[in-house]
Chain A
Amino acid sequence: MRTLLRPAIVLFVLLTVLTGLIYPLLVTGIAQVVFPRQANGSLIMKDGQAIGSELIGQPFDDPKYFWGRLSATGPFPYNAAASSGSNLGPTNPALIAEVQGRIDALKAADPTNTQPIPVDLVTSSGSGLDPNISPAAALYQAPRVAMARGLDVAKVQALIAQYTEDRQLGILGEPRVNVLQLNLALDALKPGS
């Protein structure tokens, strides 16, 4: 027993130095040199200032912007310092109420739209920070955004196509639209163009 004590303690300390200090610092060093943008949160820069992250969604409920997924983070949506899903079970009345609430808000913002609503637009994401919506969810909102901005719907649809990413390597995941980048592109459009 005594003979096992020293190896146990010294070995644990040495492995702590190796895997808890050298290894993460080595990864940090290489990452900061080779992939500095990704390693620091894939920030979107404008005039030297970070104006958001490509990978982190933001809350939108103005009709002139595309809206993202519902977010269950507290105390406000898209709190990127406290990620969380809703964890509501599939038969929980609170889930149905939340979905209905989003449907009502979408309908109130665009009463003329009678299309079925894509499911990702009325449900909460797992992280509460999902940067994406499906192409269907973006196309569903195109008429509203076009109307609110006085733009041609075709122009908005073209912008959606531009910010749509296909499945990765053609097979992995799902096609998706980056909501923040799409909204930033909308804001950057010259008035009247």
Chain B
Amino acid sequence: MTVNGILQIVLYFVILIALVKPLGAYMARVYEGQPIRLARLLGPIERLIYRLSGIQPEQEMNWKTYAVAMLIFSAFGLLVLYVIERVQAGLPLNPQNFSSLPPDLAYNTAASFTTNTNWQNYGGETTMSYLTQMMGLTVKNFVSAAVGMAMAIALIRGFARRTAQTIGNFWVDTVRGTLYILMPIALVLALVLVSQGVVQTLDDYKTVPLVQATSYDRPMLDAAGYPLQDASGSPIMETVNVTNQVIAVGPAASQVAIKHLGTNGGGFFNANSAHPLESSTPLTDFLEILAETCIAAALTYTFGKMVKDTRQGWAILTVMVIVLAVGIFGAYAAEVNGNPKLTPLGVDQVSTDLNPGGNMEGKEVRFGIARSAIFATATTATSTGAVDSMHDSFMPLGGLVPLAMMQFSETILGGTGSGLYGMLIFAIIAVFIAGLMVGRTPEYLGKKIEAYEMKMASLIILIMPLIVLFFTALATVTKEGNAGPLNPGPHGFSEILYAFSSMGNNNGSAFAGLTGNTPFYNFTGSLAMLMGRFWLAIPTLAIAGSLARKKIVPVSAGTLPTHTPLFIALLIGVVIIIGVLVFLPALGLGPIVEHLKMIAP
């Protein structure tokens, strides 16, 4: 590790934590319907939306109505995106004349962007028209994030209210989150990104001459498009000279801003934030990481504010930050020493001020090792899934960190909204376990945790590993599944495990060597993503509804305080033991055995 690398990590945490209170307090005002300055400007738009949609903003919903509204809204959005992808060839703003998507890929992508996963079985600049990127994908980036935040707020209301039947209005929460939180921040961020070199244009792709021409060989085709073969049966090759470079551009910055802010992660370009026109400088990299973590971190303060005890929010944030910091330093340590297989070849991998050093395969020089380690950990701890370096080429233990971060059920900051509600479920389980130890009825924030809440919480923590491990197992025993991996040996298994950990947890990053654009992975992946999102969201809302109905139990001598270091340690233990331990055998077959094989003499 270098001094500069450690400084970059510390700087990130300092600025992230400084944002928590102002942003968190602002979000509490937005969701509690208190007056905010932006409402003077956007209030008329908000009211117009309600009027046109026939929404009565003051009419609250019980948890079942809230859940059904969320499901209908998401299902309709999925359908619209699917249709846009299927007919994009006939729509405007398609300067590269891309054809429409085949059904399995269109469905996978629609499910992916609806569930805030943004798993991508396509390359953006070779598949999607500008119209699809804007009116299909950018829209989903906004609304899937706003829906996640709405559900977190609904759960918070469950804790904050007493003997109430309702947990808020889904439409209002979604509209206000989009209008007052996501859009304004995304607008500013997008413009800062452009100032650094992230493209934003509706023009055709640019063509420039190459300074030094290059060439490549390709098989010759006959008139019917089949490769020609010589007498011995091997294909006849022809040499193609390349004298120009076609540079893909497009309305990228507007999408990249919300892709991070909404913890979506779906890249405008295939290489995602490694692409110099998607993240052009170290500053854009820094801002993209900050954007994808700031709402999730600040929601802990919103939570504290709304339950009228900000210490509770800080305790939750402390748990998240500790685990995140361990992950970042772990990934950094694994990557900075480089690849032992390259040292004997005479490669200089020592980090200095002239040489980034470390394992540079799949990484960009402008980011180097420290930035790539922060990005990889933050993007998987949150449910973002963008990448600024190729995780598939990380060292075995470096790749273990993002894999484990996803397997924490996206609770270490997590997705916008979904991270907080995931962590609150773990908090419920932690007080339950503590309650068992001392033989008292567990309570959290004055609400008794009873059989119904525990049933729902158990469902939530069991469903995710079941999805991930079932589909991973299915892929490893089928021909179609085994056709996917690029790399041989345990690393190939890691690619499959990573894929389903990513989709089951709605992350979206990949060990991208895996060929995912096949009917098998498109279909199983869609299922994993939809179950990973909605099978967890519904029991979460059920808990919210049940908690809202309860009375507040007064604090007594037997109450376990949930803002103390003791509880923080307990919660970290629960998250690790219940969250990640279930994956240890699978991790053992992938990155751990690969590491051991690598260091074996």
A residues touching B (Cβ–Cβ < 8 Å)?
A: 1, 4-12, 14-16, 18-21, 23-24, 26-28, 30-32, 34-35, 38-43, 50-56, 58-62, 65, 69, 75-93, 95-96, 99-100, 103, 115-120, 122-137, 139, 167-169, 171-176, 180, 183-184, 187
Q: In the complex, A167→B246 CA distance in Å?
A: 29
Taking CB atoms, residues of chain A closer than 8 Å to B45 are 18
Query: Is B194 located at the chain interface by the 8 A CB criterion?
Result: yes
B271–A126 touching, CB < 8 Å: yes
Can you show 22 pairs from A to B with CB atoms below 8 A apart?
A8-B69, A10-B52, A15-B139, A18-B179, A21-B134, A27-B194, A27-B200, A38-B194, A55-B197, A56-B245, A58-B210, A59-B210, A83-B270, A84-B123, A90-B598, A119-B347, A126-B274, A126-B389, A133-B365, A174-B368, A180-B211, A183-B211
B271–A128 touching, CB < 8 Å: yes
A28–B254 touching, CB < 8 Å: yes
B143–A184 touching, CB < 8 Å: no
A27–B191 touching, CB < 8 Å: yes
A35–B73 touching, CB < 8 Å: no
Identify the interface centre among A10, A134, A139, A172: most chain B CB within 10 Å of its CB: A172
Whole-angstrom distance between the Cβ of A103 and the nearest chain B Cβ:
6
Whole-angstrom distance between the Cβ of B22 and the nearest chain A Cβ:
22
5 A-B pairs besides A41-B247, A122-B342 with CB distance below 8 A are A18-B178, A41-B277, A62-B212, A119-B360, A134-B354
Identify the interface centre among B179, B203, B345: most chain A CB within 10 Å of its CB: B345
Task: Say which residue of B212, B359, B594 sits within 8 Å of A60 (CB atoms).
Answer: B212
Known contacts A27-B251, A139-B354; is A19 also within 8 Å of B143 by CB?
yes
Whole-angstrom distance between the Cβ of A37 and the nearest chain B Cβ:
9
B354–A135 touching, CB < 8 Å: yes
B175–A55 touching, CB < 8 Å: no
Q: In the complex, A193→B31 CA distance in Å?
A: 68
Q: In the complex, A32→B18 CA distance in Å?
A: 33
A129–B276 touching, CB < 8 Å: yes
Taking CB atoms, residues of chain B closer than 8 Å to A130 are 276, 364-366
A127–B364 touching, CB < 8 Å: yes
Query: Is B450 located at the chain interface by the 8 A CB criterion?
Result: no
Known contacts A8-B73, A52-B208, A87-B512; is A80 also within 8 Å of B248 by CB?
yes
A85–B355 touching, CB < 8 Å: no
How many pairs of A and B residues are in contact by the CB < 8 Å rule? 396
A23–B138 touching, CB < 8 Å: yes
Whole-angstrom distance between the Cβ of B505 and the nearest chain A Cβ:
21
Task: Say which residue of B65, B201, B249, B359 sits within 8 Å of A90 (CB atoms).
Answer: B359
Task: Say which residue of A6, A18, A87 sits within 8 Å of B362 (CB atoms).
Answer: A87
B338–A119 touching, CB < 8 Å: yes
B residues touching A (Cβ–Cβ < 8 Å)?
A: 4, 7-8, 11, 45, 49, 52-55, 65, 68-69, 72-73, 76-77, 80, 123, 125-126, 134-136, 138-139, 141-143, 171, 174-175, 178-179, 183, 186-187, 190-191, 194-203, 205-212, 214-216, 218, 240, 242, 245-249, 251, 253-255, 257-258, 269-271, 274-277, 280-283, 285-286, 338-339, 341-342, 345-349, 352-368, 371, 387-390, 392-396, 486-489, 491, 494, 511-513, 594, 597-598
Taking CB atoms, residues of chain A closer than 8 Å to B357 are 118-119
Taking CB atoms, residues of chain B closer than 8 Å to A34 are 191, 194-195
Q: In the complex, A86→B392 CA distance in Å?
A: 9
Q: In the complex, A168→B281 CA distance in Å?
A: 8
B283–A168 touching, CB < 8 Å: yes
Closest to A62 in B: B212
Closest 4 pairs between A and B when the two form their complex, measured CB to CB: A173-B282, A126-B274, A174-B368, A87-B513
Task: Say which residue of A10, A39, A58, A76 sits within 8 Å of B200 (CB atoms).
Answer: A39
B280–A7 touching, CB < 8 Å: no
Known contacts A20-B134, A23-B186, A87-B390; is A126 also within 8 Å of B211 by CB?
no
Q: In the complex, A52→B110 CA distance in Å?
A: 36
Task: Say which residue of A4, A55, A134 sits within 8 Å of B68 (CB atoms).
Answer: A4
Task: Say which residue of A1, A43, A58, A81 sits within 8 Å of B248 (CB atoms).
Answer: A81
A55–B354 touching, CB < 8 Å: no
Task: Say which residue of B52, B388, B594 sits within 8 Å of A91 (CB atoms).
Answer: B594
Identify the interface centre among B49, B77, B363: most chain A CB within 10 Å of its CB: B363
Q: In the complex, A176→B285 CA distance in Å?
A: 15
Q: In the complex, A51→B138 CA distance in Å?
A: 32
A76–B282 touching, CB < 8 Å: no
Q: In the complex, A76→B269 CA distance in Å?
A: 18
Q: In the complex, A140→B190 CA distance in Å?
A: 38
A168–B392 touching, CB < 8 Å: no
A103–B362 touching, CB < 8 Å: no
Q: In the complex, A18→B143 CA distance in Å?
A: 11
A174–B68 touching, CB < 8 Å: no
A119–B282 touching, CB < 8 Å: no
A39–B199 touching, CB < 8 Å: yes
Whole-angstrom distance between the Cβ of B114 and the nearest chain A Cβ:
11
Task: Say which residue of A12, A96, A173, A183 sits within 8 Å of B76 (CB atoms).
Answer: A12
Task: Say which residue of B270, B341, B347 sits within 8 Å of A117 (CB atoms).
Answer: B347
B390–A126 touching, CB < 8 Å: yes
A20–B216 touching, CB < 8 Å: no
Taking CB atoms, residues of chain B closer than 8 Å to A50 are 206-208
Whole-angstrom distance between the Cβ of B282 and the nearest chain A Cβ:
3
Q: In the complex, A116→B248 CA distance in Å?
A: 36
Q: In the complex, A87→B392 CA distance in Å?
A: 5
Taking CB atoms, residues of chain A closer than 8 Å to B359 are 90, 119
